[in-house]
Structure 1
């Protein structure tokens, strides 16, 4: 294309939406992907560009959806020409300014909160803070990548896709800091008897000779113990012991009741996505950790239940298995934009 399409904030007569945080709805996102395919991938006529502009200005959700696809395309779409390169640069600029706005808001929050517990916990548990600190982690795994580490004391650690971890071993302790994602830890016994800790944004765990997984979500962490015991102490000071065969979720201020351990929390280390009667949208959220680009699901089929074993490191095969067994269709509007919808 000889001309690039303007970023949403540059549209004549349209508001600058860079500070809006409300996500676009599913159907607006799908329409945005179709417009992108028509205008960026194929040669578009003046009439098509005009129709796109009218669609874009029709609803705020359309502009939010277009911003989202620009941001995704800047990371995953092949750039074939000056027009697309300029459009991608604009999308990156919008995304960067949005992150800058969020950082300003977080700074304001901490200043207003002073030394209060609520303000401190808000920053410690912020997903933005987790993303920023993960960039400088000692060990990281990319989307779709599973890593295995052997630490200096012989402890083995598995990193799930999209995870980040710091290691801090001293004469007094062995400490892992989980910055993002999920790990499985198989602790080694050592003669020194140094305590073994895992820190998250929500609190500290101490391994008591054990094998366990820890996953960090935006608003809580999940500890699943397969052997031995693990002690939890969250940021508010609440303490609990989690026994083998059970798991607990905990936030900065609360610890949930124990529940039977979910085998899926260990299956991923073998490259398996284990679904035991879970919603389709929940399953696809897990699969999205192994698939680059956008993986969306139509709300019409989001509640379908999924049961089975799926290859985590081969997302396209997993999607094909779902399409074979469920009343759904997997549609690829673009190589990096996949939608699951009703058949």
Structure 2
């Protein structure tokens, strides 16, 4: 089964089709409508196949209670549906994550290793390579006699391959293609519709899915990989791996991008007033204390932190804008 992630929107639609098929009141036209939906997009067919293959993936789930809960959700298509609210309640009561399958692609929830908001994890692999997962990340580890392969479903990973003469290639796979390590230390980040590779030591060969030949990216360089092409190699950002030591270092970064990164390390809403989108900032910020990072903004930018609750924070202009006529 293709384990590359599909969007949450398409996964929601696939779950809705399962519910319709399980509804005893559904008419004979439902099957025809489903076939049209499946033929509309390859991603639709992929999402449908992933839902149907849940039982095959349960072998990687070690917890009996978690495995049982996933089996319940996987077989829901064979039961009479009682609506999305019931599905959400069932998932919440068994997994404690509410509408889990609707909020993220299935491979994220079934991944070998996952991190939550503000969490990082360091792992020593079987070949003694070292990886560090950033906040909100998920990956699978697939080592066999032919190759050492990681599949990054979401987020960011820092890889340091083990020294030695292991003949098996070390590959990080993403939705956009393969990144083959050439005895190296590098970062892979899954972005919205692309993969960002930052090489810290040695070199990495980048090969998009739809190309026959790739390109080598060397130490001090970065590249953005799409499924059908590679952007030009660029200079790597300063201190790109600082997050692995609990810091975020930025140089002339749009304020919105900074807040998006800090938002990965906290729960709730972190917003930006649209009038501030042109502001840029440089500096270093602690990732373990995002409130302290936000407090560092007003001294250097014309902004203030508007805090409604710990879960609802917004960066707004330092001086409130007066309504017209005032």
- What's the TM-score, normalizing by structure 1? 0.65
Is 1:101–2:13 an aligned residue pair?
yes
Q: Which runs of 5+ in 2 are unaligned?
A: 1-7, 18-33, 49-101, 319-326
The answer for the alignment partner of 1:330 in structure 2 is: 305
Out of 129, 133, 136, the residue aligned to residue 162 of structure 1 is 136
Out of 203, 206, 210, the residue aligned to residue 232 of structure 1 is 206
Instruction: Measure how far apart 1:289 and its partner are.
Output: 0.5
Instruction: Measure how far apart 1:104 and its partner are.
Output: 5.8
Secondary structure, counterpart of 1:310 in structure 2:
strand
Is 1:315–2:290 an aligned residue pair?
yes
Mapped to 1, the partners of 2:214 and 2:135 lie a distance apart of 29
Mapped to 2, the partners of 1:103 and 1:249 lie a distance apart of 32
Count of residues in correspondence between the two structures = 242
Secondary structure, counterpart of 2:199 in structure 1:
strand
Instruction: Measure how far apart 1:196 and its partner are.
Output: 0.4
Is 1:177–2:151 an aligned residue pair?
yes
Using CA pairs under 8 Å that are at least 6 residues apart, name the structure with larger relative contact order, 1 or 2: 1
Is 1:342–2:323 an aligned residue pair?
no
The answer for the alignment partner of 1:266 in structure 2 is: 241
Instruction: Measure how far apart 1:149 and its partner are.
Output: 0.8
Instruction: Measure how far apart 1:228 and its partner are.
Output: 1.0
The answer for the alignment partner of 2:105 in structure 1 is: 131
Out of 209, 213, 221, the residue aligned to residue 187 of structure 2 is 213
Instruction: Measure how far apart 1:121 and its partner are.
Output: 9.9
Secondary structure, counterpart of 2:192 in structure 1:
coil
Instruction: Measure how far apart 1:189 and its partner are.
Output: 2.5
Out of 102, 109, 115, the residue aligned to residue 141 of structure 1 is 115
- What's the TM-score, normalizing by structure 2? 0.68
The answer for the alignment partner of 1:252 in structure 2 is: 227
Secondary structure, counterpart of 2:243 in structure 1:
helix
Indicate the structure with greater helix content. 1
Mapped to 1, the partners of 2:35 and 2:257 lie a distance apart of 33
Instruction: Measure how far apart 1:165 and its partner are.
Output: 1.0
Instruction: Measure how far apart 1:120 and its partner are.
Output: 8.5
Decide whether aligned partners of structure 1 residues 336 and 321 sit closer, same or farther in structure 2, where only a CA change above 3 A counts: same
Q: Which runs of 5+ in 1 are unaligned?
A: 1-95
The answer for the alignment partner of 1:11 in structure 2 is: none
Mapped to 2, the partners of 1:99 and 1:113 lie a distance apart of 13
Instruction: Measure how far apart 1:299 and its partner are.
Output: 0.7
Instruction: Measure how far apart 1:183 and its partner are.
Output: 0.4
The answer for the alignment partner of 2:40 in structure 1 is: 112
Instruction: Measure how far apart 1:191 and its partner are.
Output: 3.7
